[in-house]
């Protein structure tokens, strides 16, 4: 399968990107951002198009996304105002509070990955690896000498990819009681030098 990677999410692909992101992260975020219809509406509206690398086939179908975070925003960001438009005042307030607990600070020294996902039917075809290699290039172009990400304990497939690409575990954060809400018990911060 041929594909091309480019910087930026075209507006015409926002709904596809929201569905792909939700397929990958809905298991972790479903209790907080659900129901599905509302989560998809929020994501389609809030995705930061200039904070992503996208992989598309020759027909223009979205096969994968790798988002990143900077001081200017994050791919799967959005704010309380965005949440209010979809969830209402009360729904936005409690959701934003819980999601804030998952936030990771932007790092001065390392480029921060903000999620990677590949369409189910396109997995095991090198798209995830290609997106990560393109992310390394993007980080270098922005002047970073290392890249950082967080991976949850239940996502063994992603962890294996990151380890194959040279990432090393830096620390493990336990979720405690929040694990019951988000469906995972720990998150591992991993780093890879780019020099």
Per-residue pLDDT reduced to its tens digit, 180-191: 788 888 999 999
**Residue 156 counted as domain residue:** no
pTM: 0.89
pLDDT of residue 79: 85
**Residue 28 counted as domain residue:** yes
Q: What is the mean pLDDT of residues 41-54?
A: 95
| Cβ pair 136, 149 in contact under 8 A | no
**Residue 13 counted as domain residue:** yes
**Residue 186 counted as domain residue:** no
The total of structural domains in the chain comes to: 1
pLDDT of residue 83: 93
Burial of 72 (C-beta count, 10 Å sphere; 0-12/13-18/19+) = exposed
**70: domain CATH number?**
3.40.630.30
Closest by Cα among 130, 117, 102, 86 to 21: 117
In tens, the pLDDT along 139-155 reads 999 999 999 999 988 88
Domain extent for 108: 4-144
**Residue 151 counted as domain residue:** no
Distances in Å between the alpha carbon of 2 and those of 12, 57, 135, 163, 185? 21, 6, 19, 25, 37
Q: How far is CA 91 from the centre of its chain?
A: 22
How far, in Å, CA of 54 to CA of 168, rounded? Answer: 25
Tokens encoding 168: 């090393």
């Amino acid at each position: 399968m041929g594909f091309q990677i480019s910087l930026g999410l075209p507006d015409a692909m926002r709904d596809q990107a929201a569905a792909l992101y939700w397929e990958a992260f809905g298991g972790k975020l479903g209790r907080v951002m659900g129901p599905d219809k509302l989560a998809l509406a929020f994501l389609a509206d809030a995705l930061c198009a200039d904070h992503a690398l996208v992989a598309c086939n020759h027909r223009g179908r979205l096969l994968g996304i790798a988002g990143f975070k900077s001081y200017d925003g994050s791919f799967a960001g959005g704010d309380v105002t965005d949440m209010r438009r979809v969830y209402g005042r009360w729904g936005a307030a409690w959701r934003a509070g819980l999601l804030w607990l998952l936030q990771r600070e932007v790092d001065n020294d390392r480029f921060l990955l903000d999620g990677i996902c590949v369409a189910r039917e396109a997995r095991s075809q090198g798209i995830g690896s290609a997106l990560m290699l393109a992310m390394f290039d993007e980080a270098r172009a922005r002047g970073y000498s290392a890249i950082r990400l967080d991976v949850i304990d239940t996502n063994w497939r992603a962890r294996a990819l990151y380890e194959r690409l040279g990432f090393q575990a830096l620390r493990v954060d336990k979720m405690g009681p929040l694990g019951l809400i988000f469906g995972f018990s720990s998150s591992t911060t991993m780093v890879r030098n780019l020099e």
